[in-house]
């Protein structure tokens, strides 16, 4: 069996490319971001007390909750992992294509790699879909009314601001340009089920998406993205996000970048785990909040 | 020959049915490890029933529900954009150990046992089954503020959700006890919780009729016990 959420939190990196990229992006988000990598600190923070006995109780309760299939915390993490794996695989392919394109003999290989813009759009929509599914897996359907549920979503989104900023910058603004959010729907309209199957994360998520068959899944993803776009548009406007600003923010932590924005996005996709990293932190927090309430 | 063919088709159909049953029917949920402590989900009160029992926020405050699962519901109390406290109701059926801390508790709130955990958390055990907890966040809350919040929960209606109170009711009406809504249809309230302090609070709970409308049902059940 895989490691528990809290064990994974304890083993998150304190300083690597992922952390640096997230720290760079978080300079654009008010409130910033702390790289929480200690389960005991998180528990003490939620509980407002660092009594070792209480912390141990919360921890064992959290592990019990984490082990249970019906509770969904593990499933949410496996969603984030699937998305992360897919991102790395797709990023790796594109890095390979860039390298291969420069070598005369294998140049033809480069034409085999998938058309990047639509694929990028599908990748983004899968991430948004994964985010929604993970929300319901972790939190259930809180509140008795749509208004209460909406408030709950907004609350979650503001807690996950840095992940959302990373999602918007790394997967939309950098690879697709500043008007990415307005083009997204048109791009998704061109997607065929063949292209959907080229993404490894789709295979992992297909069973969790509502509806049967690729067309139903695509329709769900488009609807999900449609809802998300309304929020994301406001988010981008509020923080004044743009490709240029994202690059500048990343340069403060990663060092100067001389390539294009698209290459930067490819590089980040292939070599960072932003999704799994922030995902573990978000799930761990909600899990600990619940365990602290139940001990 | 045709007889062999019929046998063949029959066996094929049978194999297909069995295979289909294993592939499509949700056998997975029968396997152990699905829920915490392998307590069936039906034995827990659904979190939806808890939502309406949370205190209503005062002016300038906002209550945002964050988690709702079987046997659990949680909300954040926010003042402006700051989280002031985590409020939650949980069914302790799935975490029996959490009851132990109430055994030696002397403090009472609305006649139910009250415990402080650490410097920021206060918990109340209602009807020997539901734990109501307030955890101060951010700048923190003193214990008086937390106890005031605990008092603002609709504790009487919460107690009425517990089917284990049923034995206190005359035999004929037992089956119609409220709180049965917590169980699946057609299921008797079979799971009785161990009750270590039976003389317990429900008798004393009666004088507390300060909440008028919502608690009517609760009192209707409790009355015969007095």
pLDDT at B192 > cutoff 80: no
pLDDT at B86 > cutoff 60: yes
Query: Which of A293, A292, A141 shows the shortest CA–CA distance to B89?
Result: A293
Percent of chain A with pLDDT strictly greater than 70:
94
pLDDT score of A283: 92
Which one-letter DSSP state was computed for residue B156?
H
Rg of chain B on CA atoms, in Å: 23
Retrieve residue A41's tokens: 């600190």
pLDDT at A132 > cutoff 60: yes
Answer yes or no: do B73 and A54 touch at CB < 8 A: no
Residue with the bigger pLDDT between A59 and B36: it is A59
pLDDT score of B167: 42
Answer yes or no: do B34 and A69 touch at CB < 8 A: yes
Mean pLDDT of A19-26: 91
CA distance B212 to chain A (A): 22
pLDDT at B223 > cutoff 80: no
Sign of the Cα torsion A127, A129, A132, A137 reads negative
Mean pLDDT of A18-35: 88
CB atoms under 10 Å from CB of B19, counted, come to: 10
CA distance B64 to chain A (A): 6
> With contacts defined as CB-CB under 8 Å, which chain B residues touch A61?
95
Answer yes or no: do A292 and B33 touch at CB < 8 A: no
Retrieve residue A148's tokens: 């209460």
Strand partners, B68: A140, B73
**Rounded to an integer, what distance in angstroms lies between the CA atom of residue B51 and that of residue B73?**
7
Q: How far apart are the first and last CA of chain B?
A: 79
Q: Which residue of B has its CA nearest to A53?
A: B118
pLDDT at A200 > cutoff 80: no
Helix (H, G, I), strand (E, B) or coil at A140: strand
**What confidence tier does B189 reach under pLDDT thresholds 50, 70, 90?**
very low
**Rounded to an integer, what distance in angstroms lies between the CA atom of residue A54 and that of residue B114?**
17
CB B53, CB B154: distance < 8 Å: yes
Q: Which of A49, A71, A156 is facing B118, going by the closest CB pair?
A: A49
Write phi, then psi, for A256 (nearest 5 degrees).
-65, 145
Residue range A239-280, pLDDT digits in tens? 888 888 999 999 998 888 887 788 888 888 888 998 899 999
Between residues 6 and 35 of chain B, which touch chain A (CB distance below 8 Å)? 28, 33-35
Residue range A62-77, pLDDT digits in tens? 999 988 888 889 888 8
The answer, yes or no, to whether ipTM is higher than 0.85 is: no
CB B121, CB B134: distance < 8 Å: yes
**What confidence tier does B131 reach under pLDDT thresholds 50, 70, 90?**
very high
Interface check for B142 against chain A (CB to CB < 8 A): the answer is: no
Q: Which of B72, B98, B121 is facing A47, going by the closest CB pair?
A: B121
A with B: how many residue pairs have Cβ under 8 Å apart? Answer: 117
Answer yes or no: do A49 and B137 touch at CB < 8 A: no
Identify the weakest region by mean pLDDT among A103-107, A158-162, B150-154. Answer: A103-107
CB B162, CB B179: distance < 8 Å: yes
CA distance A50 to chain B (A): 8
Strand partners, A5: none
Sign of the Cα torsion A18, A19, A23, A29 reads positive
Interface check for B160 against chain A (CB to CB < 8 A): the answer is: no
Residue B138 CB contacts under 8 Å (≥ 6 apart), including other chains: B82, B83, B84
**What confidence tier does A104 reach under pLDDT thresholds 50, 70, 90?**
low
Residue with the bigger pLDDT between A106 and A21: it is A21
Tokens 């549920």 — which residue?
A149
Within A187-248, strands assigned E span none
CB A115, CB A207: distance < 8 Å: no
Query: Which of B199, B202, B188, B192 shows the shortest CA–CA distance to B159?
Result: B202
What average pLDDT does chain A have?
A: 84
Q: Tell me which CATH code domain B44-153 carries.
A: 3.40.1000
**Rounded to an integer, what distance in angstroms lies between the CA atom of residue A54 and that of residue A35?**
23
Interface check for B83 against chain A (CB to CB < 8 A): the answer is: no
Interface check for B65 against chain A (CB to CB < 8 A): the answer is: yes
pLDDT at A87 > cutoff 90: no
**Rounded to an integer, what distance in angstroms lies between the CA atom of residue B72 and that of residue A68?**
15
Answer yes or no: do B67 and A46 touch at CB < 8 A: no
Percent of chain B with pLDDT strictly greater than 70:
67
pLDDT at A208 > cutoff 80: no
CA distance B32 to chain A (A): 9
Answer yes or no: do A65 and B98 touch at CB < 8 A: no
Which one-letter DSSP state was computed for residue B193?
P
Residue A118 CB contacts under 8 Å (≥ 6 apart), including other chains: A187, A188, A190, A191, A195
What average pLDDT does chain B have?
A: 74
> With contacts defined as CB-CB under 8 Å, which chain B residues touch A156?
66
Write phi, then psi, for B75 (nearest 5 degrees).
-140, 155
Q: Which of B24-33, B62-71, B211-220 has the highest mean pLDDT?
A: B62-71
Instruction: Report domain extents, chain A.
Output: 5-294
Query: Which of A106, A86, A96, A99 shows the shortest CA–CA distance to A203?
Result: A86
Instruction: Report domain extents, chain B.
Output: 44-153, 163-225
> With contacts defined as CB-CB under 8 Å, which chain A residues touch B92?
294
């Amino acid at each position: 069996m895989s490691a528990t959420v809290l064990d994974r939190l304890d083993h998150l990196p304190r300083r690597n490319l992922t952390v640096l990229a997230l720290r760079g992006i978080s300079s654009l988000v008010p409130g910033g971001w702390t790289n929480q990598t200690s389960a005991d600190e998180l528990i003490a923070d939620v509980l407002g007390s660092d009594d070792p006995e209480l912390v141990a109780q919360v921890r064992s309760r959290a592990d019990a909750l984490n082990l249970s299939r019906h509770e969904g915390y593990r499933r949410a993490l496996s969603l984030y992992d699937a998305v992360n794996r897919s991102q790395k695989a797709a990023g790796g392919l594109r890095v390979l294509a860039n390298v291969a394109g420069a070598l005369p003999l294998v140049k033809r290989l480069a034409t085999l790699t998938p058309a990047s813009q639509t694929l990028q759009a599908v990748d983004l929509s899968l991430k948004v879909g994964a985010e929604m599914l993970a929300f319901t897996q972790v939190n259930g359907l809180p509140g008795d009314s749509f208004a209460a549920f909406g408030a709950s979503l907004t609350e979650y989104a503001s807690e996950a601001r840095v992940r959302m900023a990373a999602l918007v910058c790394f997967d939309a603004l950098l690879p697709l340009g500043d008007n990415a959010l307005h083009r997204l729907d048109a791009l998704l309209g061109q997607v065929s089920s063949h292209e959907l199957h080229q993404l490894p994360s789709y295979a992992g998520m297909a069973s969790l998406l509502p509806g049967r068959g690729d067309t139903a899944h695509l329709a769900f993803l488009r609807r999900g993205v449609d809802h998300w776009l309304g929020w994301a548009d406001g988010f981008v406007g509020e923080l004044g996000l743009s490709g240029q600003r994202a690059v500048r923010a990343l340069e403060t932590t990663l060092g100067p970048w001389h390539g294009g924005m698209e290459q930067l996005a490819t590089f980040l996709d292939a070599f960072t785990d932003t999704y799994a990293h922030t995902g573990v932190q978000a799930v761990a927090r909600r899990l600990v909040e619940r365990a602290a309430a139940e001990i | 020959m045709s007889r062999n063919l019929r046998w063949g088709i029959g066996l094929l159909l049978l194999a297909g049915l069995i295979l289909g049953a294993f592939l499509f029917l949700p056998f997975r949920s029968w396997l152990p490890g699905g829920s915490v402590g392998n307590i069936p989900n039906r034995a827990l009160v659904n979190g939806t029933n808890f939502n309406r029992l949370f205190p209503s926020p005062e002016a300038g405050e906002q209550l945002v529900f964050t988690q709702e699962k079987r046997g659990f519901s949680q909300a954040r109390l926010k003042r402006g954009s700051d989280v002031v406290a985590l409020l939650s109701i949980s069914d302790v059926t799935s975490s029996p150990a959490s009851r132990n801390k109430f055994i030696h508790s002397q403090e009472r709130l609305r006649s139910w046992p009250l415990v402080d955990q650490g410097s920021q958390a206060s918990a109340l055990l209602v009807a020997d089954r539901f734990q109501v907890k307030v955890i101060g966040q951010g700048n923190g809350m003193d214990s008086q503020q937390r106890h005031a919040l605990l008092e603002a929960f609709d504790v009487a209606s919460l107690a009425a959700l517990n089917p284990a109170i049923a034995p206190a009711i005359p035999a004929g009406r037992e089956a119609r006890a409220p709180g049965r809504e917590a169980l699946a249809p057609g299921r008797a309230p079979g799971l009785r919780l161990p009750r270590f302090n039976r003389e317990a609070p429900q008798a004393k709970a009666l004088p507390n009729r300060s909440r008028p409308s919502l608690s009517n049902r609760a009192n209707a059940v409790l009355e015969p016990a007095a």
